[in-house]
């Protein structure tokens, strides 16, 4: 994973008030809960006293109580009570639960995975996804490193082979480019696929004209992707790391071509099965890739059409190195 980044770890609806929610994210066992103000809290699912899981304990008065000996911890991770020592005693400072900065926005829970800061960067999001869109969602668990799942959505020339009966119709096997433009924290991709007439080879990205439309795909580091199907229809996916061999895809469909309020939800219900079908076509292949984690030096022989994947891998490696230097 890339450190010093915001990651979506679950949907807001999964974190109910008054409940402790256990989840493995970023390779760590974590416990999530809401304080009395409804704000999300994320902490290590580990009592520093004897190592018990806090997630099977109790939540009351903005404190988590360990199920083993009743030690209590507040939203900052500070131990506020050691029952065996008495309420009049001051708990040792060493009794502190690792706590991750958490935010809630756009129907998701984000956590900061990295070093503490006095100020944090903005949460990754697409500002043009406003309330004019109706949405529908699905969640899927993939048994691969999240980088493999991301790269599948940056791969623009697998469509006629993986999705021949859905979004890959037309047998457009030649990939001109694609054109991938890297910005500070994002990558924009324009796709120029066409049928092979047997007379011309694929053009490189440098041979393509200047784009006349918005990008087809946008990726924001560390793990947010959007397919801009049209002005009135988009798909986003957060690729959430569970551990080195598992990830969760939080997919959301956006549409505003249907204006009738009662029909907007119906359209969402109709879109979801199609999204699930296409996602399963991808999943069937990606789960067979080896190794499960991608990288610059894993023995693959890449071609020009893999340009967005190469850019992703180089940028991911650069961000990992930068985060490591800052930590040091």
Predicted pLDDT at 326 = 63
Q: Return the half-sphere exposure (C-beta side, CA atoms, 13 A cut-off) of residue 297.
A: 1
Nearest to 105 by CA among 22, 11, 227: 11
CB neighbours of 318 closer than 8 A, spacing ≥ 6?
none
pLDDT in tens, 124-179: 999 999 999 999 999 999 999 999 999 999 999 999 999 999 999 999 999 999 99
Q: Return the half-sphere exposure (C-beta side, CA atoms, 13 A cut-off) of residue 231.
A: 1
For the chain, give the mean pLDDT: 95
Q: pLDDT at residue 328 above 70? A: no
C-beta atoms surrounding 38 within 10 Å: 10
Distance CA 196, CA 58 (A): 63
Q: pLDDT at residue 5 above 70? A: yes
Banded pLDDT at 267 (limits 50, 70, 90): confident
- Domains annotated on the chain, with CATH: 5-113 (2.102.10.10), 134-327 (3.90.380.10)
pLDDT in tens, 224-260: 999 999 999 999 999 999 999 999 999 999 999 888 8
């Amino acid at each position: 994973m890339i450190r010093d980044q915001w990651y979506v770890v679950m949907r807001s609806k999964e974190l109910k008030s008054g409940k402790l929610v256990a989840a493995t994210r970023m390779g760590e066992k974590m416990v999530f809960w809401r304080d009395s103000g409804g704000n999300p809290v994320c902490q290590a699912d580990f009592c520093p006293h004897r190592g018990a899981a806090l997630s099977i304990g109790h939540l009351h008065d903005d404190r988590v109580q360990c199920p083993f000996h009743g030690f209590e911890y507040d939203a900052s991770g500070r131990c506020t009570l050691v029952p065996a020592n008495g309420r009049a005693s001051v708990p040792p400072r060493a009794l502190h639960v690792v706590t991750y900065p958490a935010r809630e926005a756009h129907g998701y829970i984000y956590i900061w995975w990295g070093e503490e800061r006095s100020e944090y960067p903005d949460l990754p999001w697409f500002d043009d996804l406003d309330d004019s869109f109706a949405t529908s969602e699905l969640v899927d668990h993939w048994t691969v490193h999240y980088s493999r799942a991301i790269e599948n959505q940056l791969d623009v020339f697998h469509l006629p082979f993986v999705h021949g009966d859905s979004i890959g119709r037309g047998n457009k096997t030649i990939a001109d480019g694609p054109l991938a433009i890297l910005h500070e924290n994002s990558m924009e991709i324009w796709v120029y696929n066409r049928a092979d007439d047997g007379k011309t080879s694929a053009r490189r990205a440098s041979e393509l004209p200047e784009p006349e439309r918005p990008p087809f795909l946008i990726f924001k580091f560390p793990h947010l992707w959007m397919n801009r199907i049209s002005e009135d229809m988009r798909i986003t996916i957060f690729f959430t790391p569970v551990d080195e061999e598992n990830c969760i895809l939080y997919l959301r469909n956006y549409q505003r071509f249907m204006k009738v309020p009662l029909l907007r939800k119906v359209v969402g219900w109709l879109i979801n099965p199609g999204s699930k079908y296409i996602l399963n076509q991808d999943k069937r292949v990606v789960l067979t890739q080896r190794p499960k984690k991608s990288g610059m030096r894993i023995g693959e022989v890449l071609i020009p059409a893999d340009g967005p994947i190469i850019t992703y891998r180089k940028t991911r490696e650069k961000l990992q190195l930068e985060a490591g230097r800052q930590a040091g």
